């Protein structure tokens, strides 16, 4: 403990004697007489709560006591230990506890006096909010850090924040903004002619995923090849694994499932050698998704992988990690004929995602719609398809939205709702940039999807 202002100690002693209280009486049930003795000697720094209790017993204003404490010295080494503890808690899948730990550190420093400690804590707060699914709040923190980092932080710090923002905007469905800030950062990197770095590869890999979501597979493929090329020049296997991971997504969406499986298996081999259980579980989830959507789906193998991932993510993952896994498991259950289990998994995934993870929520809704349709619940299927399609379209995931509208059109047509079916087909074609005049032959429009 650091000594407090002697003025506070002597003032408390004078006020105690005036009130006719002993040190034990002033201490009450929550403190000790020895603590009061040390406080009066200027050898203890009282917390705000202690000051409140003392002011109440001395019948004075707690703000008056607080004004006498003066600045409290901080031990940088102690704060660094607290930051490491917060990081471990976050990596162990408890973002709420991590958030509290980072906030506790930040209350003890100022940005002006201890800029590095404050910045690390602020970044930790943003990451904790992101992991907890509180994306809007996380974005506010990250944007403030990006503004600060633009002029005063090292390249690594700037790219870390931009990569995080890119992830958040992708989850929120704002793909254009995610691409804009990431491409700007990449342009700045090119102008600096810096050697490839781990965080640079991570940004590239994240951007690959965003372009893939938007349906711009040409740009995604180019960036994926760049990410792999750069990752092979640096001695960080995790960066290479991430590059393989995102490249496999592009291959898969280009219809090259065999190539996608090769790349994702390479990524799995790399991550299996490391100690990041959370990342390995998430990668197994991605692998299962490819298996489910391949030419010859391997639903049972995918289910085994997903159940293994869920067991891991319950220990070290976030609610969002579990939601992604449950969405994939819902698809696997649906493909093996377990429609009731598919509905349950999809509903649980939606509950875990909450209102902010719009892109993944849309995909989950499509799985739910298919399962409800298989159960004969056409009304429930229509509602889920329409909501999912609207969310995808709002997220600029045009190709995915087009398929969703087309599937909804087929449901409506099967239900005899021809006018609404035509409307849904038009929405589908609009999402892929077709004009109204192409709807002269409805069966052909449906066949195109």
Six-digit token pair at 38? Answer: 């040390």
Q: Do residues 53 and 39 lie in contact, with contact meaning Cβ atoms separated by under 8 Å?
A: no
For residues 141 and 128, the answer to whether their CB atoms sit within 8 Å is: no
**What's the rounded Cα separation, in Å, for the pair 167 and 29?**
50
Q: Is 297 exposed, middle or buried (0-12, 13-18, 19+ CB in 10 A)?
A: middle
CA angle, 70 then 73 then 77, to 5°: 165
Q: Which residue in 447, 448, 409 sits closest to 427, CA to CA?
A: 409
Considering the domain delimited by 6-66, tell me its CATH architecture: Orthogonal Bundle (1.10)
| Domain segments of the chain as ranges | 6-66
Q: How far apart are CA 83 and CA 386, in angstroms?
A: 45
Cα 404–Cα 407–Cα 413 angle in degrees, nearest 5: 140
3 state DSSP class of 424 = helix
Q: Which residues of 16-55 are buried (b: 16+ CB within 10 A; e: fewer)?
A: beeeebebeebbeeebeeebbbbbbeeebbbeeebbebbb
Tokens of 399: 């190709």
- Our CA angle for 243, 125, 163, nearest 5°, is 25
Digitized pLDDT (tens) for each residue of the chain, 449 residues in all: 344 445 788 888 888 888 889 998 998 887 888 888 888 887 777 777 888 888 888 888 888 787 776 555 567 888 899 999 999 999 888 899 999 999 999 888 877 778 889 999 999 999 999 998 899 999 999 999 988 766 555 677 889 999 999 999 998 889 999 999 999 988 888 887 778 888 889 999 999 989 988 888 899 999 999 999 999 998 888 889 989 988 998 888 888 888 898 999 999 999 988 888 888 999 999 999 889 887 778 899 999 999 999 999 988 888 889 999 999 999 999 999 999 999 999 999 999 998 888 888 988 998 999 899 889 998 998 899 889 888 888 887 777 788 888 878 887 787 778 888 888 888 888 877 643 332 333 333 333 33
Residue with tokens 């056409």: 378
């Amino acid at each position: 403990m650091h000594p407090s202002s002697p003025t506070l100690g002597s003032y408390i002693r004078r006020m105690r004697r005036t009130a006719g209280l002993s040190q034990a009486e002033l201490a009450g049930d929550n403190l000790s007489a020895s603590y009061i003795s040390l406080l009066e000697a200027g050898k203890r720094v009282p917390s705000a709560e202690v000051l409140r209790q003392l002011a109440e017993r001395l019948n004075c204003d707690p703000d008056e006591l607080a004004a006498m404490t003066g600045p409290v010295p901080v031990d940088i080494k102690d704060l660094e230990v607290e930051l490491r503890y917060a990081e471990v808690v976050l990596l162990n899948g408890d973002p709420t506890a991590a958030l509290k730990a980072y906030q506790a550190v930040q209350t003890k420093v100022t940005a002006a006096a201890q800029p590095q400690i404050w910045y690390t804590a602020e970044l930790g707060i943003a990451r904790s909010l992101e992991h907890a699914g509180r994306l809007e709040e996380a974005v506010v923190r990250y944007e403030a850090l990006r503004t600060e980092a633009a002029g005063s932080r090292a390249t690594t710090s700037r790219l870390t924040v931009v990569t995080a923002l890119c992830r958040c905007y992708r989850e929120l469905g704002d793909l254009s903004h995610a691409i804009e800030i990431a491409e700007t950062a990449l342009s700045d990197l090119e102008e600096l002619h810096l050697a490839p770095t781990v965080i640079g590869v991570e940004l590239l890999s994240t951007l690959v995923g965003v372009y893939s979501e938007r349906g711009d597979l040409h740009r995604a493929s180019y960036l994926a090849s760049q990410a792999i090329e750069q990752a092979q020049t640096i001695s960080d296997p995790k960066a290479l694994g991430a590059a393989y991971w995102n490249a496999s997504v592009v291959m898969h969406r280009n219809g090259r499932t065999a190539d996608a499986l090769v790349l994702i298996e390479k990524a799995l081999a790399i991550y299996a050698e490391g100690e990041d259980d959370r990342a390995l579980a998430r990668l197994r989830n991605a692998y299962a998704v490819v298996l489910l959507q391949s030419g010859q789906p391997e639903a049972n193998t995918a289910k085994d992988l997903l159940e293994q991932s869920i067991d891991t993510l319950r220990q070290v993952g976030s609610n969002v990690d579990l939601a992604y896994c449950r969405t994939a498991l819902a698809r696997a259950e649906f493909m093996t004929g377990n429609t009731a289990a598919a509905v349950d998994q999809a509903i649980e995934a939606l509950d875990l995602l909450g209102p902010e993870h719009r892109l993944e929520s849309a995909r989950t809704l499509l799985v739910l719609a298919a399962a409800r349709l298989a159960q004969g619940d056409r009304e429930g299927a229509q509602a889920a398809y329409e909501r999912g399609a609207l969310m995808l379209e709002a997220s600029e995931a045009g190709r995915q939205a087009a398929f969703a509208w087309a599937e909804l059109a087929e449901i409506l047509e099967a239900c005899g709702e021809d006018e609404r079916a035509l409307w849904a087909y038009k929405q589908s074609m609009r999402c892929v940039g077709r004009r109204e005049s192409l709807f002269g032959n409805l069966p052909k429009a449906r066949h195109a999807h």
